[in-house]
Amino acid sequence: MKKTIFLFAFIFLNSFFLIAQDDLMDELNEETKNENSFELPAFKAMKIGNLQSTKVGAKGDLYLYVSHRFGALKDGFDTFFGLDNANTKIQLAYSFWEGTQFTISRESYNRTFASSVKFRLAQQSNKFPVNLTGYGTININTLLDETNFPSLKSTDRYSYAAQLLISRRFSENFSFEIAPSYVRQNLQNLNIVPEAKHNQFALGFGGRQKISKRVSLNAEYIYNISRPNNSPYSDGYAFGVDIETGGHIFQLLFTNAQSTNEPAFITAAEGDLFFGFNIVRVF
């Protein structure tokens, strides 16, 4: 697995030396007259699947994000293939300033409230080879109670994630992203995990391949560098399809993590297969 990950990273970084050989897209013919013209965005949606993309909403844009993950498909008719124990997240995202986006959300998984900030650091152009975006989030688990955790403190409910998102649109149809990630969890349930790992580091990879004007295939993989060998959790992954229809983007996907919040799907992917979707509406 490590060899595969390093191979992905090598291909991504090595491609920077081929910038001069990239064909300019037809849509950018006018922009190339500008000395520092910008490429089209690497990703159309704010998420590849679960993993954040480098896209940041324009100033004044309001996004409504509805994410739904059914239960594990392996449960079959017992839960009607996951229909009975689904997870839903409602998120609002707004950009008060150009290049900076704030979100608030509520997810039924662990009854989690979350807020985040996403900010553009650099854009891909004929002078700079990649898009750089910073992302940070804070999550509050309101499901925890003192019955199961007698010494529970308010700060134990909090978890955090920080990511540096690095993407490049290699051609009109293909984009790729690397996402170094850090997660801090104040509480570790030792009934589930073999040892406490409050601070964890991960490396995410994601890609988008357009197959038509309004349809693309997406995939992502998140390698958790800090996970103990005997952990019950797996590295997170997702794969699916994006469908653009006017002001909406529909993302249909399969994933091994039911939560859509970073501290959960980066560190605690269950390993089962879940079907889900994201619906994005911009106002």
Q: What is the pLDDT along the chain (283 residues), one digit of tens a residue?
A: 544 444 444 444 444 444 434 443 444 344 444 445 566 789 989 999 999 999 999 999 999 999 999 988 776 666 655 566 789 999 999 999 999 999 999 999 999 999 999 999 999 999 999 999 999 999 999 998 876 777 888 899 999 999 999 999 999 999 999 999 999 999 887 777 777 888 999 999 999 999 999 999 999 999 999 988 888 899 999 999 999 987 789 999 999 999 999 999 999 998 889 999 999 999 8
Number of structural domains found in the chain: 1
pLDDT for the residue numbered 225: 95
DSSP 8-class letter at 189: -
Q: Count helices and strands (H / E) in the chain.
A: 2, 12
State how far the Cα of 84 lies from the Cα of 65, in Å rounded to an integer.
Answer: 22
State residue 182's pLDDT score: 98
| CATH number, position 166 | 2.40.160.40
Residue 8 CB contacts under 8 Å (≥ 6 apart), including other chains: 205
Nearest to 73, CA basis, from 270, 278, 280, 279: 270
8 Å CB contact between 239 and 69: no
Contacts of 240 (CB under 8 A, 6+ apart): 49, 217, 218, 219, 251, 252, 253, 254
Residue 218, classified by CB atoms within 10 Å of its CB into exposed (0-12), middle (13-18) or buried (19+), is buried
Distance of CA 85 to the CA centre of its chain: 22
The secondary structure element, H or E, covering residue 106 is strand 100-107
Which residues 6+ apart lie within 8 Å of 140 measured at CB?
112, 113, 114, 157, 158
Domain containing 262 equals: 2-282
Residue 7's pLDDT is 44
- The residue written with tokens 């390698």 in the block is 223
Q: Cβ contacts of residue 261 below 8 Å, gap of 6+?
A: 89, 105, 107, 109, 112, 114, 137, 139
